Amino acid sequence: MKKVREVQLAEDVISFEWDNKKAFNLKYTAHYGFIRSLCDKDLVGSLEDFSLKEKGYEYFVQVGIGGSALPATAALTFLKGSYFNFYGGKRYFALDNLDPERLKFVLSLNLDKAFFHVVSKSGKTSETLLQFFILLEKGKIKPENVAISTSKGSFLDDLGERLGIKRFYIPEEVVGRYSVFTTVGLLALDFFGLDVEVFIEGGKNGVRAYRNGFSFPNEFVDFAIGNYKEGKNILVVFPYKDRLLKVGEWFRQLWAESLGKDGKGQTPVLALGVTDQHSQLQLYQDGPKDKAFVFIDMPECCDFVAEDDHGFGLFKGVSAGKLMNIEKEATKRALRSKDLPVSEIYIKRPDEFALGNLFVSLMIATAKAGEVLGVDPFNQPGVELSKKFAREALKNA
């Protein structure tokens, strides 16, 4: 039977290998707010009208935390590489932690050459607001050097209006950690000249492919939650390229914050190959058998061969990429030898279309996992409680 074109396009950019043990027979239906955000016809046009590409800025600073920063950081790192900030040209920084030392560094930049994107869905995120207030006061940043992404009618929206700052609105039905395809993720991509329309089209393809039987999201749920129900309470996310590390961080928040409720949830732990073969693998192999493993990999974007191994006898003619792949496969084999469940997501191309497809597929998988567990994957009552306690402490300080 001939495959639907959309499914073939998706399979051309993503594959999923897994130890098939359990199937929840999930339906290939998906009607979520983050999917509807892909169909915002005005979004690309508004980005083009506001485009920052030719305005002479040297720095892009994302002021936000969690889902207000990770989508942009993960996308840029995947598409431009982990070290693009060191090669000259435009640079990216995220104020996604409250450490004053990070803020001090940003304040040391030539702020006339910096553009600030302040992001808070609620418009009242404490860490984001405080840092924005300090930037306004200490950095004297100009309103024309700032854009805000928030909810309509929020405090941040009202403040932006008073200060004459451009505002973009995050759809009410899109939760922060699912906001990749809003200005939360897209404004930074546009700043660095990446193809926003192709990125969005990759997301749309992921949705259309899924609705036509693209099995990756459902199989991911079968693997991860199937093993969770058999006592694997920890999901080790094991990217095997530096440029995939931030994608792992983005997914870690997505999986943890969406599913950790009502005494349920699978704890995502991040490891980096090959580095953490030398720090965590001993525990994974010989420690508690409470973990399932998802490796994430992609082709090398460059490679280097050792033509001379100086008599060592193993590495002559061997490239760094080849050794990395050999070690990954050896690690998977070692884990399987201990009867530990292993899977691998492989992204076949390092481009906007593939990344858009990956992001939407993992968001669909997370939403489906919530359905299997019987939890709401779009709220975060535990986070809201800690915010309430912090505000109470501020009032009493």
Residue 374 confidence (pLDDT): 97
Residue 2 confidence (pLDDT): 59
Residue given tokens 């082709």 in the structure block: 299
Q: What is the pLDDT of residues 9-30, one digit of tens each?
A: 999 999 999 987 778 999 999 9
Q: What is the pLDDT of residues 370-388, one digit of tens each?
A: 999 999 999 988 777 777 8
What CATH class is the domain 5-29+198-373? alpha beta
Q: What is the pLDDT of residues 249-296, one digit of tens each?
A: 999 999 999 999 999 999 999 999 999 999 999 999 999 999 999 999
Please state the domain extents for the chain: 5-29+198-373, 54-192
- Beta-bridge partners for 13: none
Q: What is the pLDDT of residues 97-134, one digit of tens each?
A: 999 999 999 999 999 999 999 999 999 999 999 999 99
What CATH class is the domain 54-192? alpha beta
Determine the average pLDDT of the residues in 333-353: 97
Closest of 5, 354, 378 to residue 179, by C-alpha: 378
CA dihedral of residues 28, 33, 35, 36 (deg, nearest 10): 120
Rounded CA separation 205/207 (Å): 5
Do the two domains 5-29+198-373 and 54-192 of this chain adopt the same fold? Answer: yes
| Catalytic positions, written as ranges | 257, 278, 387
